[in-house]
């Protein structure tokens, strides 16, 4: 049973996307009127209720140097991958071998999962096709996978991206988890206690 404070927090979490949807609706119509405002509010309520998203807990931690390293490395990966994909496109007698890979991340943070998925998808040659939130697993379509060595190299690249993101703005629990100090089940227990909610089975 939810407490009044939890219900109030849930309403507060839904207000920013609701306001953003109303503003977007007004911009699409290009004029302000009470009718557009009311219709936009109704559409926003329907969207936020029907397509409800679980609030992502921010870590409250930011390490400027590691964040800069992550961004610079991401730009470098994008440039290098762009050249590689361009070469594959013009290479004569090209025989490509693509693959669908399942890569389980080491953390159980929705924020880190989302950032890792985005950072991996914007690099040419790979795109996230599905996500298993319970196990923090990314399913990716990857170009030019010819051997087990190629697959392992790409897997390590994704895990390195996750590590840089955690070092940049992950929580202290995520940092401990990456170092192998904090097991997954203990990490999940800490988060469940903090949120004052029961643990879901299969989270560890």
- The whole model's pTM is what? 0.65
* Residue 43 domain-assigned (yes or no): yes
Domain range spanning residue 23?
Answer: 4-50
pLDDT reported for residue 97:
84
> Does one domain contain both 33 and 113?
no
Confidence (pLDDT) at 81: 94
Place of tokens 């557009």: 36
160: in domain: yes
Query: Do residues 176 and 76 share a domain?
Result: yes
Q: Is residue 71 part of a domain?
A: yes
* Cβ 151 vs Cβ 99: under 8 Å: yes
Same domain membership, residue 88 and residue 122 = yes
Tally of domains within the chain: 2
Please indicate, yes or no, whether residues 11 and 111 belong to a single structural domain of this protein.
no
pLDDT tens for the chain, 204 residues: list them: 556 665 665 666 677 778 888 888 888 888 788 888 899 899 888 887 777 666 666 666 788 999 999 999 999 999 999 999 988 888 777 667 889 999 999 988 888 998 999 999 999 999 999 999 889 999 999 998 988 999 999 999 999 999 999 999 888 888 888 777 444 445 454 554 454 444 344 333
Residues 18 and 89 in one domain: no
203 within a domain of the structure (yes/no): no
**74 and 31 co-located in one domain:** no
Same domain, 80 and 120: yes
Residue 101 in domain: yes
The predicted structure's pLDDT at residue 28: 84
Residue 204 resides in a domain: no
In this predicted structure, what is the pLDDT of residue 153? Answer: 94
Beta-carbon count within 10 A of 100 CB: 11
Q: Would you state the pLDDT for residue 7?
A: 60
**Cα–Cα nearest to 144, from 85, 101, 83:** 85
Helix (H) or strand (E) segment spanning residue 16:
helix 4-29
| Same structural domain, 20 and 88 | no
Are 114 and 191 in a shared domain? yes
Q: Does residue 91 fall inside a structural domain?
A: yes
Query: Do 103 and 143 fall into the same domain?
Result: yes
Residue 57 lies in a domain: no
Asked whether residue 23 falls in the same domain as residue 84, the answer is no
**Per-residue model confidence (pLDDT) at position 176:** 82
Distance (Å, whole) CA 59 – CA 63: 11
Q: Are residues 101 and 29 in the same domain?
A: no
């Amino acid at each position: 049973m939810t407490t009044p404070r939890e219900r109030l927090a849930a309403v507060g979490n839904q207000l920013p996307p609701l306001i953003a949807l109303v503003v977007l609706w007004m911009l699409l119509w290009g004029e302000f009127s009470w009718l557009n405002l009311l219709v936009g509010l109704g559409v926003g309520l329907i969207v936020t209720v029907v397509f409800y998203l679980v609030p992502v807990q921010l870590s409250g931690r930011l390490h400027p140097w590691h964040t800069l390293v992550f961004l610079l490395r991401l730009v470098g990966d994008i440039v290098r991958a762009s050249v590689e994909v361009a070469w594959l496109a013009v290479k004569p007698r090209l025989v490509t071998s693509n693959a669908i890979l399942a890569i389980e991340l080491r953390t159980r943070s929705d924020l880190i999962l989302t950032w890792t998925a985005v950072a991996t998808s914007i690099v040419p040659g790979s795109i996230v096709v599905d996500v298993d939130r319970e196990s923090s697993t990314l399913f990716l379509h990857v170009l030019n996978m010819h051997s087990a060595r190629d697959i392992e190299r790409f897997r390590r690249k994704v895990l390195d991206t996750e590590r840089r993101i955690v070092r940049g703005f992950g929580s202290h629990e995520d940092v401990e988890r990456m170092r192998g100090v904090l097991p997954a089940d203990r990490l999940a227990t800490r988060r469940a206690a903090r949120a004052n909610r029961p643990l879901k089975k299969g989270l560890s």
